[in-house]
Chains A and B, each alone.
Chain A
């Protein structure tokens, strides 16, 4: 089991550009959540996808959007990048049923730097 995988590992963009981050959930998981972790801070919830729809959303502007594919993988898109978007972006997967219902497994993250 490969666990949660994310790509790319690192990314450098300039202000105003757009970025797409990718996540593959752990085998057997159907729910994907995205978090932003700024330097020295705890992760902040961006949104969650289940059955290819956004189910919950945190306090992030609509420059942040996402998608979930039929194979449960997910993308996070950020438009019109700002310097403040520089952070570690974490993907977490979970199962909608079963013993691990309330456990989120995290990927290694994508480090985004906006110059």
Chain B
């Protein structure tokens, strides 16, 4: 079985400041890693994913995450946040291979302030 820990339930940050949202996972098998974003009253949107290859993955809106196998982490970072980044962010894992269920963390609420 897999599990995901998101240590920070809320992260307040000022606009244009850098941010890091932490994610650690536990699994006895190889995993894929994902970050999803959820805006108020909406479903989940995939932000970025690590399947294989380069351990640093990037999204089109400036977020990046690095897979660290030795530390079983997949922290999400952005060098300069915008008000529009305010949302709930979920880290998730699945076993490698297709069609496997996602196991989510409890989420981190990112609140960007002026």
Contact = CB atoms under 8 A, between A and B. Distances in A.
Interface in A2-24: 4
B42 interface: yes
Interface residues of B, number: 23
Contacts, number: 62
B102 A45 contact: yes
A31 to B, nearest CB: 6
B62 interface: no
Interface residues of A, number: 29
A70 to B, nearest CB: 19
Interface of B: 4, 32, 36, 42-46, 49, 51, 90, 92, 94, 98-107
Interface of A: 4, 31, 33, 35, 40-45, 48, 50, 55-56, 58, 90, 92, 94, 96-97, 101-109
5 contacts: A56-B100, A102-B49, A103-B49, A105-B46, A106-B43
